[in-house]
Structure 1
Amino acid sequence: MTSGPESSLAARRIKWLSRLTMAGILVVLIVVVGRVAQLKVAPPVELDGTQGARSARSPQPRFRGTVYDRKGRTLSIDKPAWLLAVDPDFYFEHGHRRMGERDSTLPSIALDEALCRVVGPMALMRFQLRLERAADLGRELADQIGIAADDIEKALVESPDSKRYLVLKKLLEDWEVDRVRNWIDGRNIGLRLDRRTTRVNYGPDSLAMIVGKVRNNGRGGSGIEQLLDANLMAQNGMLLSRRTAGGTVISVPQGSYDEGSHGQDFQLTIDLHIQELAEERLGRQLEEFNAGGGRCLVIDPRNGDILAMVDLLRRRPDWEEAILDDPMRRIEPSLGRNRNLVDAFEPGSTFKPFVWSGAIQAGVGTTRPVPTDAEGRIKVNLGPIPISGRRNTVKDAGINPYHGPLDDIETILVRSLNTGMVEMVRPLSDKETRDILVRFGFGTRTNCGLGGSAEHAGQITSLKKWTFANTSVSVSFGHEVSVTTLQMTKAFSAFCNRGLMPQLRLVKPSPPADGKPLLDSAPLLMRRAIPGEIADRTKKALGKVVTEGTLSRHARSARYTMFGKSGTADLPMPGGGYFKDRHTSNVIAAAPYEDPRVIVICVIDDPDKSIGHYGGKVAGPVVKDLVDMILDYEGVMPDVEGHEEPAVENLVSNIDG
């Protein structure tokens, strides 16, 4: 048995060793807990790739429906694309060091003493470090893929501290993707290449206003893209998978895959080639006559298909413009206002065939005779003639003076006599005259499949405010009424179809997909405007307009027989009233005569009067050239005897040059 002092010494040694052991264990626990906390709160960069959820949802992108033209050419389609993005926070803290650039822990820019006093030296140093590192990335990307270095630097510096995803460039080409990948070479510097789908449109700017735009959220924002959005929109799928911490897929649970569905494809009645022809030809005419704008519409009268719809605006230096500006189309064409849909105009003499044919149907010239002389020829006061209750007199345009009694009532239309049109409506009541306009569809929307409630219905005076002196007389030669190019072509189709007008359409009928309701899936509808024999009689008179009347000099085709009408109206002032020396010039015509395949209307807004302003001279050549080019493109044989084939070659060379 040990003595007392030795036992006491051993006990103290054991106690001391126990305390030392406990202290060591406590230190180890503190270190372990601290390390765990550090890994949770601020893990080192090397562990970035090993983190992640044990299960993941992977979207399975599906494509929005494709939009085609009537011949199957692509107008709008979803395409896979690469997007370059960066995590600004990660790049500034870690990624910059991995680029192999200089060590930027110390700034190379001298600190500004004044700024130091305001924001403090550490804040200023941090900002200047961001500037340097942003400039380094900008320069490197500029070298690799030609992206603007200043844009990259600005975007990075201005990004909020909390932003973890900043898009640097959309729609990378394949070679750009390869260059970025090779440069990164597996380094995690905060850059990422993400696979996305983007909407790509094809065709001229005038077509973009028809097809429309898809927003960043994938929904249609304008045009056909908006109108048919519910059918075009895709339903993305989803894949739920089990993964390791490194991201490797372990398994896919049963029933965890949702395939999704692509959007429905659509085919428009628009013909891409005809649209391009119309835009190019109209653009040249605007330049030639220094006009402020123009519209052109092409339809197939057999079924109401809209083949082309062009709207151009032209800014003229030092010119007081009277045409409503469209700033949105300057930002992006797909955001523009298509004036064929939303703006009406006063047609002038192109409106006469509708009133003339309606008056003939009402018996004018037969059961309701017009004044004749002793030899039975029609007496027309060639004016200017005063109308009781009307402020101004009626007179005929100086370009087409006609003197003497008329052999037949058709001469009123062929010679485009305002005074003769007064005699056509004089026997009619106010309601009868107004009903003529209604039967042809004026004053109501065409519901062509685009524009919806935004489509302009035109304007005709209500029966309550209608008077003979100020309304019937004016309407008879195309004044005091506003129309759209859509309404004009639809109404004119009655002369092509023995009095029947087809419903205009922009979308080809197709069966519904997945039970979704589909617009324009109804069968072709025709509505009668006038009897067939009246339509044929009017068509014959309009044929003489081309061969003998106001279209004979500038709009007569050497290849196809045409029938049509020209018109010139005073340009309205923005605040009301009309300019006396500025005009709206327009022509509408169809061809070939025996079996009309195409109707073309051209409206030229505010041509320079010093060059020309009458409809036949200004708009007539556009209509004639388009008729020739379109019918030749459609393979329609010329029906004018003695036509010369080189005329087509000349037209093609004009387009190419």
Structure 2
Amino acid sequence: MIMDRFSTVRATLLLTILGVGLAGMCGRVVWLQTIARQQLIRSAERQQHRTEILSARRGSIFDRNGIMLAGTIQTHGVFLDPQFMLDHFQSENRTLNDMDAALRRLSALIDRSADELADIVAQRHEARFVKVAENLDDRQAEAVRRLNIEGVGTFPMGVRYYPMGSVAAHVLGGVGREGKGLEGLEMKYDSRLSGRPGYWRPMKDARRRPIGVTAEDYVPPVHGQHLVLTLDANIQMIAEQELSAACRRFRADRGEIVVMDPHTGDVLALANWPTFNPQNLNDSPPAQRRNRCLTDPYEPGSTIKPFIVGPALMWGVTRPQEVWPIPGKSYRSRYRSKPIVDVHHYGPLATWDILVKSSNIGMTMLGERLGKARLYQALSCFGFGKPTGIDLPGEDPGLLNPLPMWRDYSIPSVSQGYEVMVTPIQLARGFCVYANGGRLVRPRVVKGALDCDGAVVAADCHQTPAEWPQALESEAADQIRRILCDVPVRGTATKAQSKYWNIFGKTGTAHVSRGSAGYDEAGYTSSFMGGAPAENPRMVVAVIVHEPRQDLGYYGGTVSAPVALRVIERTLSYLDVPNSPQLELPPPAVASVLTGFDEKAYRNRTAVARE
């Protein structure tokens, strides 16, 4: 009886346990099929499908002749998947010693110690991707893959390199560690150069090995476009070499050169000194990486004078042979208490010689005749005070005060190249007007773009010559160019006279402003702008050297004119430009007309011009 009762209890208990177990299993099935279904599907997809980014290759940058200035080398990186590594070693019942041994084998191939790798796995045990090495070549990456360590993999990456080193560094700029453009063209055209990354989502087995991919799970990357520049690498090197030599010789603070084709606006060279290597941006201070050809305006001194005389000729305010009563080395303008002085004692000069000899007194007299409004209008014709629109970042508009801000003393100041500020690119652009018949070009450094297969996707996207404004009538522009041919022959730039080509140009020597402290009597900006050949200009060059040491020389004709001469001669020789015919200039203007100077007629002409 007792045994029967015990058997019944046991049977009941067993059935109860079986019933509870069966109910639990049914509940689990229901839960898996309903509540947890989507969660489990997503978890399975994460294990079987993992999206992997396919990097786009950054486009290259070439000069106008196809010489590579910036490119990308395909390398490899190494990553750890700490979570997968720990899970795998635990599931395989392998010890930590086994993992340490695997990490030691890996550390022998990359620049990381085994202890560092072990710390990464321990401290970032939930991470799925930790980069532990980069810039491995194909051989090194294959060696890592042959280790066959679970949770260790390689991935492709691109490294930017500059095969010509520091050449055109301020134009190119550079990229950061993550491959993003930080300065120059690399920053300006970052989206065009970067392209667009793709992705793929391969199905993987339990050991994370790809076993298949569908078409909809693969989007190929769109590689970046290539830029073709207007720069000529050979002319760029010429400019950089000559600028560096001059700045070192005269112990200058810094310097800039711009070389342009006056008929197209193409910038053939744009150089700053000191320079830097874009391969290692962090090795140079930010000030050294400034593209001062665009960012740092300065007072141009006497290089402003052709931009005043040209419009004056066009408006009929003066003529090349008009003689002005220069009263020796000093002149007191009614607009300024401090006397205006010339370097030399000239006496009466024609307008021609005022420009050739760079007479401050003569220019002040012309400025007085023009008045504030027409002085302002003259400089506005050449785009001063406004950005040129060059396709580089960071351009400064310079300074040309609005007319209401002008004072009477502005007339003698502006006439000598003070109280107005220009950048080297503005100066070069303005001088192109005298080389192309009076048109104000728009400078550019990008000629076009190619896709990754070499097909043209953008070409000559800037303004056409028909859209360029006529800053000056062609007759006046040609007159000024002819006058400026005399500057290297009988004027202030005899060190820019060439045996082979006729050069036209203008020197400038300006005191450096120290802000509220006034002008530094020992600090100078030495400059020269020129073009050649005068009979059919192929190039314009602007050379600016800041604060050369005074005891070594500081005049624009001493410091900058010889630099321009060497750049012009080397460039025209490289371009195989034929030598110029003999230059024919009139005799010194004053010698033939001095005895006929009529002071009363001069005063009447000046009075009429002011009206």
TM range (shorter): 0.7 to 0.9
Change (3 A) 1:259 1:169: closer
Using the aligned pairs only, state the percent identity. 28
Equivalent AA in structure 2 for residue 171 of structure 1: N
5+ residue gaps, structure 1, are: 27-49, 106-132, 316-326, 373-377, 643-657
Give the secondary-structure state (helix, strand or coil) at the position aligned to 2:245: helix
Which residue among 409, 431, 438 is the counterpart of 1:499?
438
* Counterpart residue type for residue 75 of structure 2: A
Given candidates 30, 53, 76, the residue that maps to 1:82 is 76
Mean CA deviation greater in 434-443 or 616-625: 616-625
Q: Partners of 2:85 and 2:450 in 1: how far apart?
A: 52
Distance 2:204 2:49 in 1: 6
1:458-478 deviation per Cα after TM superposition (whole angstroms, max 9, x unaligned): 11222113234x212121121
Shift of 1:347: 0.9
Q: 1:157: Cα distance to partner?
A: 11
Residue 70 of structure 1 pairs with residue 16 of structure 2: no
- Which residue of structure 2 aligns with residue 428 of structure 1? 370
TM-superposition CA deviations, 1:595-615 (whole Å, max 9, x none): 111111111111111211111
* Deviation at residue 568 of structure 1 after TM alignment: 0.9
Q: 1:510 to 1:84 in 2, by over 3 A?
A: closer
CA distance in 1, matches of 2:259, 2:59: 26
Q: 1:332-371 alignment to 2 at 5 Å?
A: 336-366=289-319
Is the partner of 2:551 in helix, strand or coil?
Answer: coil
Q: Return the alpha-carbon distance in structure 2 between the equivalents of residues 154 and 313 of structure 1.
A: 45
Residue identity in the other structure for 1:561: N
Question: What is the alpha-carbon distance in structure 2 between the residues aligned to residue 250 and residue 168 of structure 1?
Answer: 26
Residues 1:193 and 2:187 are matched in the alignment: no
Q: CA deviation at 1:169?
A: 3.4
State the match for 1:404 in structure 2: 347
CA contact (8 A) 2:438 2:472 kept: yes
Contact 2:449/2:458, CA 8 A, preserved across alignment: no
For 1:150 and 1:431, how far apart are their aligned partners in 2? 76
> Match of 2:32?
none
For 1:169, the equivalent position in structure 2 comes to 133
Would you say 1:302 and 2:263 are equivalent positions? yes
1:531 equivalent to 2:481? Answer: no
- Output the CA distance in 2 between the equivalents of 1:328 and 1:571: 30
Change (3 A) 1:176 1:578: farther
> Which of the residues 538, 544, 558 maps onto 1:617?
558
Question: Residues of 2 paired with 1:305 and 1:200: CA distance?
Answer: 25
Single out whichever of 525-534 and 150-159 deviates more from structure 2. Answer: 150-159
Deviations 1:136-171 (A, max 9, x none): 979984x656x4869968996997666554434322
Report the Cα offset of residue 580 of structure 1. 0.9
Q: Residue in 1 aligned with 2:38?
A: none
Report the alpha carbon displacement of residue 218 of structure 1 after superposing the two structures with TM: 5.4
Amino acid across the alignment from 2:402:
S
State yes or no: 1:283 paired with 2:224: no
With normalisation by structure 1, the TM-score equals: 0.72
Q: Which amino acid aligns with 1:264?
A: Q
Q: Distance in 2 between matches of 1:433 and 1:52?
A: 73
Distance 1:580 1:334 in 2: 25
- For 1:57, the aligned partner's letter is T
Residue correspondence of structure 1 range 380-529 to structure 2 within 5 A: 380-397=326-343, 401-406=344-349, 408-451=350-393, 454-468=394-408, 470-509=409-448, 520-524=461-465, 525-529=467-471
Per-residue Cα deviation, 1:541-577 (whole angstroms, up to 9, x for no partner) = 1111012211113x22233221111111111215552
Deviation of 1:625 (Å): 1.3
Using the TM superposition, give the Cα deviation of residue 363 of structure 1 relative to its aligned residue in structure 2, in angstroms: 1.9
Change (3 A) 1:294 1:181: same
Give, in whole Å, the separation in 2 of the partners of 1:59 and 1:567.
56
Paired with 1:531 and 1:358, the residues of 2 have a C-alpha distance of: 9
Shift of the alpha carbon at 1:396? 1.0
Whole-angstrom distance in 2 between the partners of 1:382 and 1:207: 46
Asked if the contact 1:301–1:598 (Cα under 8 Å) also holds between the matched residues in 2, the reply is: yes
Shift of residue 421, structure 1, vs aligned partner: 1.0
* Aligned residue number for residue 31 of structure 1: none
Cα distance change, pair 79–556 in 1 and its aligned pair in 2 (3 A): same
TM-score w.r.t. structure 2 length? 0.77
Distance 2:317 2:115 in 1: 73
The letter of the residue matching 2:136 is L
Q: CA RMSD in A?
A: 4.4
Kindly provide the amino acid, as one letter, of the partner of residue 470 in structure 2.
Answer: R
1:223 is matched with which residue: 184, 190, 194?
184
* Native 8 Å contact 1:293 1:604 kept in 2: yes
Whole-angstrom CA distance in 2 between matches of 1:511 and 1:61:
19
Q: Give the C-alpha shift of residue 521 in structure 1.
A: 4.4
For 1:528-567, list aligned pairs within 5 A: 528-553=470-495, 555-567=496-508
- 1:193-272 aligned at under 5 Å gives the runs 193-205=154-166, 207-215=168-176, 219-247=180-208, 249-253=210-214, 255-272=216-233
1:385 CA displacement: 1.1
In 2: Cα distance, 1:254 partner to 1:150 partner? 40
Contact 1:359 1:425 in 2 (8 A): no
Cα shift at 1:333: 7.3
SS of residue in 1 equivalent to 2:413: helix
Partner of 1:311: 272
CA distance in 2, matches of 1:153, 1:252: 32
Matched residues in 1 for 2:160 and 2:78: separation? Answer: 17
What CA deviation, in whole Å up to 9, does each residue of 1:567-593 have, x standing for no partner? 111112155522110111111111111
Asked if the contact 1:271/1:308 (under 8 Å) is kept, the reply is: yes
Task: Provide Cα deviations, 1:428-466, integer angstroms capped at 9, x if missing partner.
Answer: 121111100000111111001112xx4211112221132
| 1:54 and 2:54 are equivalent in the alignment | no
Q: CA deviation at 1:14?
A: 12
Q: Distance in 1 between matches of 2:472 and 2:203?
A: 72
Query: Once the 2 structures are TM-superposed, how far is the Cα of residue 339 of structure 1 from its aligned partner?
Result: 1.0
8 Å CA contact 2:226–2:451 kept in 1: the answer is no
Can you list the C-alpha shifts for 1:366-386, whole angstroms capped at 9, x where unaligned? 59x96x5xxxxx421223111
Secondary structure of 2:187's counterpart equals: helix
Q: Which amino acid aligns with 1:211?
A: L
Q: Is the 8 A contact 1:88 1:159 kept in 2?
A: no
Residues 358 and 530, structure 1, Cα contact 8 Å, conserved in 2: yes
What is the identity, as a one-letter code, of the residue corresponding to 2:513? P
SS of residue in 1 equivalent to 2:332: coil
What is the correspondence of 1:5-24 to structure 2 with a 5 Å cutoff? none
Q: What is the CA distance between 1:247 and its match in structure 2?
A: 4.1
Which whole-Å CA distance do the structure 2 matches of 1:174 and 1:306 have between them? Answer: 39
* Secondary structure of the corresponding residue to residue 628 of structure 1: helix
Aligned residues of 1:348 and 1:479 also touching (Cα < 8 A): yes
Q: Counterpart of 1:506 in structure 2: which amino acid?
A: V
SS for the counterpart of 2:330 is: coil
Q: Specify the code of the residue in structure 2 equivalent to 1:290.
A: R
